[in-house]
């Protein structure tokens, strides 16, 4: 019941991060029927293109062996060993192509489904793999029952297809029994080819359904609850409370750094209590005045307080202060449209206290 309720709560599709993490752990969708289909296709290719030559080679060897038995004495253990070795070599020659096709087909069936990768998690010892309880759960759980139903359906479907194929093959077999012995081998080859072809066709349909089901089942098991989605988003972009705290600390540090630059300003433009912009202008440093600090309300008052404490002139200009506050940035030069207005204020500063201004330039 707990598993059912847990599955019901998983209403969200798996995120890309969860899919990627699952793939990194080696948990990938895999259709078990694909290698079986590949094996039957390999056998079919062998029967259609290589079986005739292999059977001919084996028949030639057996004919020599049967027609001239005196050439194969069996007087001691060494003779028996030699004979068995020769027979094994001939049989290996006959089936080496088939074995190569089967191995290649099995590798291709696995590789085409999932790119091979090394996953240490898959070889790490885990108690759940040898736990009787977990094994019983895998065998008789929902997935186990689905696998049993799939295997049973596969056997029934393949059996029906094979039954039709054998009915057709029976008439060919009876007709081949009245032909020459040499031609009878060709009849057997045709019957075997037809049977394997029908089985491969049945397996193709079963495998197609298995591929779709395995992919659907894999994605369904990866579904997430809404809480899991939220937790993952927090892990990716950080906890909102933590991010707010970080931004607050950054603002405090920027404000402290800005306030420490006010004593080096040349003048301050203020809108008596709402806005304050501290500017620094030294001919040899920059082509235009630099904004070293700006603020409004309490920060504006703090800038004025620091400026007055350090003997920096404060000019009250409501329109200029309001306009500049919206368009300037700290540590950047003022825009060209303010050059004339600020230049007049700078000249006023130099006119008031030329000696102080010159000492500040130096």
Query: pTM of the predicted model, to two decimals?
Result: 0.51
Arithmetic mean of pLDDT over the chain: 77
- With cut-offs at 50, 70 and 90, classify the pLDDT of residue 95: confident
Q: Average of pLDDT values for 200-212?
A: 85
Q: Average of pLDDT values for 250-268?
A: 84
Distance, in Å, from the CA atom of 145 to the CA atom of 180, rounded to the nearest integer, reads 51
- Return the CA Rg of the chain: 43
Nearest to 270 by CA among 297, 288, 310: 297
* 62-94 pLDDT per residue, tens: 777 777 777 777 778 887 788 788 878 877 877
Nearest to 90 by CA among 43, 54, 49: 54
Evaluate whether 294 touches 278 at the Cβ level (below 8 Å): yes
Structural domain boundaries in the chain: 2-114+130-233, 247-361
Distance, in Å, from the CA atom of 147 to the CA atom of 329, rounded to the nearest integer, reads 67
Distance, in Å, from the CA atom of 28 to the CA atom of 143, rounded to the nearest integer, reads 15
% of the chain surpassing 70 pLDDT: 78
* 34-47 pLDDT per residue, tens: 888 899 899 889 88
- Cross-strand pairs, 277: 269, 294
Give the model's pLDDT for residue 104. Answer: 92
Give the model's pLDDT for residue 259. Answer: 85
* 99-136 pLDDT per residue, tens: 899 999 988 888 888 766 665 555 566 655 566 666 66
Distance, in Å, from the CA atom of 25 to the CA atom of 122, rounded to the nearest integer, reads 7
Residue by residue, DSSP assigns 7-26 as HHH--BPPPHHHHHHHHHTT
Distance, in Å, from the CA atom of 304 to the CA atom of 277, rounded to the nearest integer, reads 9
Q: What is the spatial order of strands in the sheet that 314-316 belongs to?
A: 290-296, 275-280, 267-271, 314-316
Domain 247-361: top CATH class? alpha beta
At 280, give phi and psi (nearest 5°).
-125, 130
Q: Greatest CA separation found in the chain?
A: 133
Give the model's pLDDT for residue 334. Answer: 86
Nearest to 275 by CA among 316, 311, 306, 312: 316
Higher-confidence position of 16 and 115:
16
Distance, in Å, from the CA atom of 54 to the CA atom of 60, rounded to the nearest integer, reads 10
* 320-356 pLDDT per residue, tens: 888 888 888 888 888 888 888 888 888 888 877 654 5
For 15, other C-beta atoms within 10 Å of its C-beta total 16
166 three-state secondary structure: helix
Evaluate whether 333 touches 279 at the Cβ level (below 8 Å): no
Distance, in Å, from the CA atom of 282 to the CA atom of 84, rounded to the nearest integer, reads 103
Give the model's pLDDT for residue 266. Answer: 84
Q: Average of pLDDT values for 215-234?
A: 82
């Amino acid at each position: 019941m707990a598993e059912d309720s847990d599955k019901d709560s998983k209403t969200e599709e798996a995120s890309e991060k969860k899919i990627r993490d699952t793939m990194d752990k080696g948990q990938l969708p895999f259709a078990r029927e694909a290698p079986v289909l590949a094996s039957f296709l390999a056998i079919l290719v062998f029967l259609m293109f290589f079986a005739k030559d292999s059977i001919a080679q084996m028949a030639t060897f057996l004919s020599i062996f049967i027609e001239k038995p005196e050439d194969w004495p069996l007087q001691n253990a060494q003779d028996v060993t030699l004979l068995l070795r020769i027979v094994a070599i001939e049989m290996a020659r006959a089936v080496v192509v088939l074995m190569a096709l089967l191995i290649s087909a099995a590798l291709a069936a696995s590789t085409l489904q999932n790119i091979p990768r090394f996953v240490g998690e898959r070889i790490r010892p885990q108690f759940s793999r040898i736990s009787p309880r977990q094994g019983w759960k895998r065998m008789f759980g929902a997935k186990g029952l689905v696998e049993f139903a799939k295997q049973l359906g596969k056997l029934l479907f393949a059996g029906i297809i094979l039954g039709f194929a054998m009915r057709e093959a029976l008439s060919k077999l009876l007709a081949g029994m009245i032909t020459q012995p040499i031609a009878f081998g060709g009849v057997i080859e045709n019957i075997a080819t037809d049977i394997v072809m029908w089985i491969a066709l049945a397996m193709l349909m079963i495998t197609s359904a298995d591929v779709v089901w395995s992919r659907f089942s894999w994605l369904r098991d990866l579904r997430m609850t809404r809480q899991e989605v939220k937790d993952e988003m927090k892990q990716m972009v950080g906890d909102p409370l933590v991010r707010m705290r970080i931004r607050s600390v950054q603002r405090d540090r920027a404000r402290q750094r800005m306030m420490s630059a006010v004593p080096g300003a040349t003048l301050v433009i203020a809108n008596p209590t709402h806005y304050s912009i501290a500017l620094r202008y030294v001919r040899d440093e920059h082509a235009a005045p630099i904004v070293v600090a700006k603020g409004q309300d309490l920060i504006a008052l703090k800038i004025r307080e620091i400026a007055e404490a350090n003997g920096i002139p404060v000019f009250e200009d409501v329109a200029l202060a309001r306009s500049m506050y919206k368009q300037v940035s700290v540590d950047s030069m003022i825009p060209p449209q303010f050059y004339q207005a600020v230049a007049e204020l700078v000249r006023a500063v130099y006119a008031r206290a030329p000696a102080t201004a010159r000492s500040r330039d130096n």
